[in-house]
């Protein structure tokens, strides 16, 4: 088979899977589609076929994810923010600080590169790849350093997407408890919301998804002070700070829902947002190739794994105690 025909087949499968995920919202034949299946399909695609758009799909994933989150925002009124318990929002600040401090300790313990350790800690503390990308430009991390940090966070985030709904159901967590837990501890926004969507399938309302989304967006705001901290520690001057403006569009979507509660189109937009999120997870999976996984290394992965375990277990215990 010629190289051109091989690439054509890869692209056909690529768009075919995306179409299946997109149409799963409207076709009962594809009712089995879920967030973790979309991610696994992406990983299998990367392993057996290879991503035909490697190096380019990252930007598409970022834009699609942000658009999908805004779309989900149309499904909730502004009052959803005030419905969260105060302890839920306190947890955001507390566990960001804990993750950064413990992450710095693990970096020294395993004697790994400071930039790699700081990026893994930032990805764990806030929002995975988005936080890593923001801090990487500030501390002038190399492509290899960024790849190691991203690979570590992607593996752990994918694990959280699959395992958290199972654990949450086993412990009989409430939807709010699970939503706070997923929002605090699953690295990437797409994986966190995806896990909440899968957990919500056993309930009438998408409460876990709502809570996770709000918690995750509250954490995203902390990218700004994180970049300032990185510039200070690595003595970088005149660094341009990029504010995550899509959060404002998410709030605007909730505002429109509050003021036009009888408009049926909002539910359709929210459904489209959910499907966009699943497509984002598929695209994330296509970047988890064997080549990328081998480049991570044992020590950086142990750093990320132990940090994630510490944050996950301690936050779960706090949630069980303070949120009923």
The rounded distance, in Å, linking the Cα atoms of 124 and 186 is 8
**pTM of the full predicted structure?**
0.86
Domain count, the chain: 1
User: 35-48: buried (b, 16+ CB within 10 Å) or exposed (e) per residue?
Assistant: bbbbbbbbbebbee
| Half-sphere CA count of 70, side-chain side, radius 13 A | 15
Mean pLDDT value across the chain: 86
Look up residue 240 and give its DSSP letter. Answer: P
Question: How many angstroms separate the CA atoms of 130 and 221, rounded?
Answer: 11
Domain limits at 220? 3-322
Of 11-20, 104-113, 291-300, the poorest mean pLDDT is in 11-20
Q: 130: left (phi > 0), else alpha (psi -120 to 50), else beta? A: alpha
The pLDDT assigned to 87 comes to 73
Taking CA atoms, 141 is separated from 129, 216, 230, 234, 269, in Å, by: 14, 25, 11, 11, 38
Cβ partners under 8 Å of residue 92, min gap 6: 184, 215, 218, 219, 222
- At 26 the pLDDT is 60
What pLDDT, on a 0 to 100 scale, did the predictor assign at position 29?
A: 57
pLDDT at site 255 = 92
3-class DSSP state for residue 126?
A: coil
């Amino acid at each position: 088979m010629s190289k051109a025909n091989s690439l054509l087949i890869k692209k056909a499968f690529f768009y075919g899977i995306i179409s299946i995920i997109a149409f799963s919202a409207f076709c009962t034949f594809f009712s089995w589609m879920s967030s973790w299946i979309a991610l696994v399909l992406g990983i299998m695609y990367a392993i057996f076929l290879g991503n035909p758009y490697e190096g380019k799909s990252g930007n598409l994933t970022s834009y699609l994810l942000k658009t999908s989150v805004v779309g989900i925002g149309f499904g909730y009124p502004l009052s959803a923010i005030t419905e969260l318990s105060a302890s839920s929002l306190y947890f955001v600040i507390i566990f960001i600080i804990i993750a950064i401090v413990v992450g710095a300790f693990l970096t020294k313990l395993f004697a790994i590169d400071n930039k790699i350790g700081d990026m893994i800690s930032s990805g764990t503390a806030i929002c995975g790849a988005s936080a890593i990308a923001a801090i990487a430009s500030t501390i002038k991390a190399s492509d290899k350093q960024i790849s190691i940090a991203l690979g570590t966070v992607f593996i752990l985030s994918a694990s959280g997407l699959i395992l958290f709904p199972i654990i949450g159901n086993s412990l009989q967590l409430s939807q709010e408890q699970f939503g706070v837990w997923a929002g605090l501890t699953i690295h990437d926004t797409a994986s966190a919301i995806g896990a909440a969507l899968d957990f919500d399938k056993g309930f009438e309302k998408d409460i876990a998804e709502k809570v996770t989304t709000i918690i995750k967006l509250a954490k995203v705001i902390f990218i700004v002070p994180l970049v300032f901290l990185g510039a200070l520690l690595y003595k970088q001057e005149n660094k341009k700070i990029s504010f995550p403006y899509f959060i404002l569009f998410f709030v605007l979507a909730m505002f429109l829902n509050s003021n036009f509660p009888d408009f049926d189109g909002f539910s359709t937009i929210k459904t489209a947002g959910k499907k966009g999120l699943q497509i984002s997870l598929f695209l994330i999976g296509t970047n988890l190739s064997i080549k990328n996984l081998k480049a991570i290394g044992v020590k950086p992965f142990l750093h990320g794994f132990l940090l994630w375990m510490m944050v996950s277990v301690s936050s779960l215990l706090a949630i069980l105690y303070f949120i009923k």
